[in-house]
Amino acid sequence: MTGLVVIGAGGFARETAQAVRDAGEFELLGHLDDNPALHGTDVDGVPVLGGCDLVHELPGARAVICVGNPRDYAARARLVRRLALPVDRYATVVHPTAAVSATSRIGAGSVLLAHCVLTAAVSVGAHVAVMPQVVLTHDDVVEDYATLTSGVRLGGGVRLERGAYVGSGALVREGTTVGAWSQIGMGSSVLGDVPPGEVWVGSPARRLRAAEAPALDELATHTDRLVARSDDFATRTVGGPLT
């Protein structure tokens, strides 16, 4: 059985470790966490082996990154960049009680916890966190690094862009887009599109303020990279053959 390390040792990481044990697909080796006070201790009976960079000394093990919180939900993306692991090092963890249709797909490094439902033709990207009892309905698209906390419900054809965070019990109307690195407050009802990098709350949800700095920094970083790639493509196309 292939070994797996859970990177992080907080609440989401502990829930993921339990899902790994329940599913029985991987051998749970332990947690990795950058808090030195945790090194050598056990969390729910699972050892904390050392810091996150120790993953490079375990080349035969798969990994899943389970960090982040409502105040810094961009932490997962930063850690993925820092560790720079190849895609095939990342596991996908699906709790055995999750209902995932044959027409749905889930990206590397993503986690689906207990009693999630993906009904038909749902696309979940890489490093996505899907908490218990989330329902994703037909044709939903959840992009990389998004977080859906407990009890979220998405109507059909919803798009959660890169890094979007949806709080517990929130409802998102069919055909709606939640912009990159935006945050939806718990219990909110989203009836229209949400721009990138904003916090929306209430029922119906309305703009409260801009997102916190970590999310805005991640939004700017990704936007700059997209612009650079576009400029590079244009230069190579006009100036000579693609290589």
Give helix 213-239 / helix 75-83 axis angle, nearest 10°. 50
Helix (H) or strand (E) holding 19: helix 11-23
Closest CA to 150 of 189, 103, 115: 115
What SS3 class is residue 224?
A: helix
Calculate the alpha carbon distances from 176 to 8, 88, 91, 107, 191 in Å: 32, 32, 30, 22, 7
pLDDT band, residue 24 (cuts 50/70/90): very high
Buried/exposed 83-99: b ≥16 CB within 10 Å, e otherwise:
bebeeebbbbbbbeebe
46-88 pLDDT, tens digit per residue, is 999 999 999 999 999 999 999 999 999 999 999 999 999 999 9
Phi and psi angles of residue 135, each rounded to the nearest 5 degrees, phi first: -120, 120
pTM of the complete model? 0.91
